[in-house]
Structure 1
Amino acid sequence: MGSCRSLGCCCQRRFQSNILVNVKYCFNMKKVISMLMLAATVTAGAQAQQLLRSTPAAEKVSEDGIEAYKKAVEESGQQLHSFMIVRHGKVVAEQYYGDNAADKPHVMFSVSKTFTATAIGFAVQEKLLKLDDKVIKFFPDDLPAEVSPNLAALEIRHLLTMSVGQEVEPNVNAGGTQRWERVFLETPITHAPGTRFLYNSIASYMLSSIIQKVTGKTIFDYLTPRLFKPLQIDGARWESNAQGVNFGGWGLFIKTEDMAKMGQFIMQKGRWKNKQLISKEWIADATSSHIKQPPQWMKPDADQTQSDWAQGYGYQMWRCRFGAVRADGKDGQFIIIIPDKDAVVTTTANIQNMQEEINLIWKHILPALN
């Protein structure tokens, strides 16, 4: 007799009396498999859901301004890898250069720090720690023989605001077996914590280590259900040292659109899809200036009003001109949040002069938002 084959179903019809039964069976199997395929499609879409797309005109953004920015980038010779502009929560412009692509995670360098600070915010919200907790209490086995008064006074908030007071940043070996916590705690704290801005990526690592201490999870695993999954940031990864602690201050890889999602999350004061993930008070505190940078952080030929590195520092975030705030990574990785314009601008790049890069955004994109 004949056979029925559909979507992998094979119904052998040996007797005429079984035809109706087998045809019905094949039909039902086809229906079930179709439903499963539809469910898989919906699930896959949910896992990689993008921000809504719109046009510049619809969101009152000047297309001429966007084109002027693209032309200025090209004429400057800056090695931009990607940019994305979000207005009113919708993507109005994006571009990828060279072999960079929308689905390709990019190294974040110190943009990672903003995610680390957000993990601290979640831990505070869950009452796992407090900002005035002393750092030494988390590392009793890594303390030097003599704990200085400055080390004893060091708090989590000082790690967040780059105000540890170490004149020399701790020297760690990324590939070695040394305990970075011990190296950090043994490095002299020259200035009283909270009194001077001294950039310190190992302080950010210490925040990651503290999260791992109080949760039993890496900062990446801790953030996954609290931030990455709700924002549907997929394909991310975070590098670790030999002790299995995520670097905290660097080492995160995410996509350009994921950066924009993080910026929009901050713009929305910790709210995502009608759910308050982290308190708006935390976001307000994290994006406020807690300490000012010294003059050496400005360009030699610029005054304070012209530098985006002299507007104050929050919790692992930089204040900018024009009322903006940013996550900032080496070589031109930016998440720039502009609350007054309800806009987020993200870039990935390999650019040495980062002030020049951000100047083009202020010159061309900012006016385009008017």
Structure 2
Amino acid sequence: MKPIAFTCLLNCFLLFFSCASEDNNTITEQDSDIETIYFPPNDSDVWETKTISEVAWNENQLAPLLDFLQEKNTKSFMLLHNGKIVVEAYMNGHTKSSPWYWASAGKTLTSTVSGIAQDEGLININSKASDYLGTGWTSATLEKENLITNRHLLSMSTGLDDSLGEDITPDALYYVADPETRWAYHNVFLKMQDVVALASNTSWDNYFNTKLKDKIGMSGSWIPFGSLNVYWSNTRSMARFGLMISAKGKWENDVIVSESFLNEAISTSQNINESYGYLWWLNGKSTYHLPQSQIEFPGNLIPNAPNDMYCALGKNDQKIYIIPSKNLVVIRMGEAAENSNFALSSFDDELWGKVNAFIN
């Protein structure tokens, strides 16, 4: 080969790899611009923030949102974007360190820990509850009791009587219908805590603390209230849990609960109330049921909220809203915003009208 031809060939060769290298660098730079989820450290009160201008939201709509929240008996409100705090507000005598009850929003803690126990091979969601609880945990016949699975406990479809409110003693757990023929909001879901405790050969509190609370830096504790076990924590601990769920079960590099279980938990869990998963409420469905009601209502659970939103809802308007399409976690704690003390009220839709004006 002549020297000139060889030189030209060599230059082309080098130019090709130089371009390829530049392309690779460009891809790396573009990838680095994609924001990863931020997780606050477990051993510190530090939590990184993000300004409203950074997310290009309507700053002039923040004051109306916070005024509305204060008028509606709110104690705390947080809004996370990709894990960082954009809004954190305390009002009506509440502070950052003040504990408050999750009420039924804490049902999702039971759902998540049940998923962890299944991931560890301790339980099977589809196994009958009596495999773990023994027989006689209801007043139903053995034949009917053995129809009830852990999945029915998590999906509010046991068929057991829900008319006695918070009384979940075995004598109160009367058979009303076969599982999955009736959706009824009922505190019998707490039997899942017994299932996990028995399967793990430890107390519910200990398993919860070891497998979830301590791993993501939550504070708080389960406090007995009558026959219930109610979780209390500060607002940031509720936000930590919401952040872990929004990160598909991960906390930094640790898998807390499998993504496969969470995908199942935030999907319709039975064929009656399509807006209910495993103790999670689901938006964007065509119909929904309300607690203590057998009536099917048409339309979205919360019309003003994004269709892909799923949420933990508790008595007196305790809220964890998770919106994957917007990388948002929204927390609200406080007294009842409306006259109703149900987990779901007209406050949800009003609040999302205000939030939409702020974030869009």
TM-score (normalizing by structure 2): 0.74
- 1:75-107 Cα offsets, whole Å, 9 max, x none, are xx4111111111121110111112211111111
Match of 1:200 among 181, 186, 194: 186
Paired residues for 1:172-191 under 5 Å? 182-183=170-171, 187-191=173-177
The answer (yes or no) to whether the contact 1:170–1:183 under 8 Å persists in 2 is no
- Distance in 1, matches of 2:150 and 2:163, equals 17
Give per-residue Cα distances to partners, 1:273-307, cap 9 Å, x unaligned.
Answer: 122221111111111122343876299xx963253
Distance across 2 between alignment mates of 1:303 and 1:188: 27
Quote the residue 1:226 is aligned against.
Answer: 211
Partner residue in 1 for 2:335: 350
What are the Cα deviations for residues 116-148 of structure 1, in whole angstroms up to 9, with x where unaligned?
A: 111100110010010111112223364568725
Aligned counterpart, 1:121: 115
TM-fit CA distance, 1:220: 2.3
Could you say if the C-alpha distance between residues 60 and 274 of structure 1 is closer, same or farther in structure 2, counting changes exceeding 3 Å? farther
Partner Cα separation in structure 2 for residue 145 and residue 365 of structure 1:
46
Name the structure 2 match of 1:239.
223
Whole-angstrom distance in 2 between the partners of 1:306 and 1:46? 37
Find the counterpart in structure 1 of residue 263 from structure 2: 284
- CA deviation profile, 1:298-347 (whole Å, cap 9, x unmatched): 99xx9632533xx9xxxxxxxx7521011111001000001111101100
Task: Report the secondary structure of 1:168's partner residue.
Answer: coil
**C-alpha distance in structure 2 between counterparts of 1:192 and 1:321, whole Å:** 34
Deviation of 1:110 (Å): 0.7
Q: 2:96, 2:139 → 1: CA distance?
A: 51
Change (3 A) 1:70 1:230: same
* 1:65 corresponds to 2:53: no
CA distance in 2, matches of 1:146, 1:161: 19
2: CA distance between counterparts of 1:362 and 1:100?
22
**Greater Rg over alpha carbons, structure:** 1
Amino acid at match of 1:238: W
Q: Is the 8 A contact 1:116 1:219 kept in 2?
A: no
Deviation at 1:269, TM superposition (A): 0.3
- For 2:350 and 2:64, locate their aligned partners in 1 and report how far apart those are by CA, in whole Å: 10
Instruction: Select the residue among 270, 277, 283 that pairs with 2:249.
Output: 270
Provide the rounded CA distance (Å) in 2 between the counterparts of 1:88 and 1:172: 37
Deviation sequence 1:146-186 (CA, Å, 0-9, x none): 7253321100000000001124345666xxxxxx55335xx
| Aligned mate of 1:297, from 290, 293, 297 | 290
Change (3 A) 1:154 1:222: same
Whether the 8 Å CA contact 2:133–2:194 is kept in 1: the answer is no
Q: Which moved more, 1:109-118 or 1:65-74?
A: 65-74
Of the three residues 348, 354, 360, the one matched with 1:364 is 354
The TM-score normalised by the length of structure 1 is 0.73
Q: Given the superposition, is the C-alpha separation of residues 194 and 209 from structure 1 closer, same or farther in structure 2, using an over 3 Å criterion? A: same
Secondary structure of the structure 1 residue equivalent to 2:95: coil
Secondary structure in structure 2 of the residue aligned to 1:278: coil
Which residue in the other structure is 2:126 paired with?
132
Aligned ranges for residues 1-370 of structure 1 at < 5 Å?
A: 46-74=42-70, 77-140=71-134, 142-143=136-137, 147-169=141-163, 182-183=170-171, 187-201=173-187, 203-234=188-219, 236-240=220-224, 247=228, 250-291=229-270, 292-293=272-273, 297=290, 304-305=298-299, 307-308=301-302, 322-351=307-336, 352=338, 353=340, 354-370=344-360
* Aligned equivalents of 1:154, 1:114: Cα separation in 2: 20
* Residue type of the alignment partner of 1:138: Y
CA distance, structure 1, for counterparts of residue 98 and residue 225 of structure 2 = 23
Q: Give, in whole Å, the separation in 1 of the partners of 2:69 and 2:140.
A: 53
Aligned CA distance change for structure 1 residues 341 and 89 (closer, same or farther; 3 Å): same
SS of residue in 2 equivalent to 1:131: coil
- Residue 123 of structure 2 aligns to a residue whose secondary structure is coil
Post-superposition Cα deviations, 1:30-65, rounded to whole Å, max 9, x if no partner, equal xxxxxxxxxxxxxxx853444321212113332223
SS in 2 for 1:91: strand
1:92 counterpart SS class? strand
Do the aligned partners of 1:166 and 1:191 also contact (CA within 8 Å) in 2? yes
**Aligned partners of 1:72, 1:139: CA distance in 2, in Å?**
46
Give, as a single letter, the amino acid of the residue that structure 1 aligns with 2:352: W
Shift of the 155–216 alpha-carbon distance from structure 1 to 2, 3 Å rule, reads same
Report the 3-state secondary structure (helix = DSSP H, G, I; strand = E; otherwise coil) of the residue aligned with 1:52: coil
Which runs of 5 or more residues in structure 2 are unaligned? 1-40, 274-286
Asked if structure 2 preserves the Cα contact closer than 8 Å seen for 1:69 and 1:360, the reply is no
Share of identical aligned residues, percent?
20
Could you tell me which runs of 5 or more consecutive residues in structure 1 were left unpaired when the two chains were aligned. 1-44, 174-179, 312-319
Question: Is 1:167–1:189's contact at 8 Å kept on the other side of the alignment?
Answer: yes
Deviation beyond 6 Å, 4+ runs, structure 1: none
